[in-house]
Amino acid sequence: MKLNFIGNNRGNWTIWSVVDFFFPIKKRLRMEARSFYDGARVSREFYTFRALYTHCFYSLFITPIKDIIKLHRLNPILAQRGAIAFDAASSAENSGNTTSLSYSHTCTGSNLVLLVGLMGGNLTGIGITYNSVSMTTVTSQNASYPPTYLCRLVNPATGANTVAASWTDSGRRASGAISFSGANTTTPIGTTATFFSTAGNSGGVATVTATTDTNNSFVVDVLCNTQVTSTLATTGGNTQRGQRLAFNSSGYDASMSTLYKATAGSVTMSWNFDGGTSNRGYSILFAEVHEALSITSSFFQLL
């Protein structure tokens, strides 16, 4: 039996020569071949070694990788919460019959979404900017007095910057700004709704109800009523943000509030006028702010 008999039985000589380089069994096999010329024995020992090597290689490397890929296919992405949180609120009203209003608002954090409401007067020729960047309309109510308007801006500049609102007809207006961190800057707004009542509700309660479409979201409402009241307070679990704004010679009350909704479902935003003793005509807007989602491949998660 010649030495090259061993190489012939190995199949791919180049690959297994590399293996033999790291595993000195080749030298032992050559010695056995020269001593005994027992080709069958050498062949069996060689292929026994190859089987052992292949088993170890698959057990240590190939099988775990295949299992990870299989899990990745079963669950291709993992969504992690972005931890949406209330950031800041500010508000202001103009001091006379003008066509503009401005005030400062400070945004901090990342994945920011800013909402700005404008209340009172006609919704004609409205333009709202933050740090000179134009904002996008979310929803509005102009079917009946008092009109209300809501707009948004994703990734607003951090730090203290100016909210500037303008309109075409001279008059009194109020405005409020609310920002959120950890919000979804790709699809920031979910459900929106509007409601108005010219005569008010029994018991002096103003409400708007809608159903959120995503877990872990914030709901924002914008309220404006037709007469200044002695008290204005939230009653539905929502938290008033910014100051209560009493403006216009005929008397308007305006404010905004937020409510965190952990599980998607029906939400009622509610306000109380004069401790529930008086009815007022009002309009109210509802908007859901989505939480940011961090999408990561399960392959890398498992590694």
Sorted by where each begins, the domain ranges of the chain are 4-74, 80-293
pLDDT in tens, 257-296: 999 999 999 999 998 877 555 667 788 999 999 999 865 5
Q: What percent of the chain has pLDDT over 90?
A: 42
Q: What is the pLDDT of residue 93?
A: 87
pLDDT in tens, 156-184: 999 999 999 999 988 888 899 999 999 99
Report d(CA 205, CA 15) in Å as an integer.
Answer: 82
The model's pTM is 0.71
3-state secondary structure at position 67: helix
Report d(CA 203, CA 277) in Å as an integer.
Answer: 6
Report d(CA 131, CA 218) in Å as an integer.
Answer: 24
Cβ atoms within 10 Å, residue 131: 17
Q: What is the pLDDT of residue 299?
A: 44
Residue 245: C-alpha distances to residues 111, 172, 210, 252, 256 (Å)? 29, 11, 25, 8, 10
Report d(CA 298, CA 76) in Å as an integer.
Answer: 6
Q: What is the pLDDT of residue 236?
A: 80
Both structure tokens of 282: 């009002």
pLDDT in tens, 183-231: 999 999 999 999 888 765 556 788 899 999 999 999 999 998 876 666 7
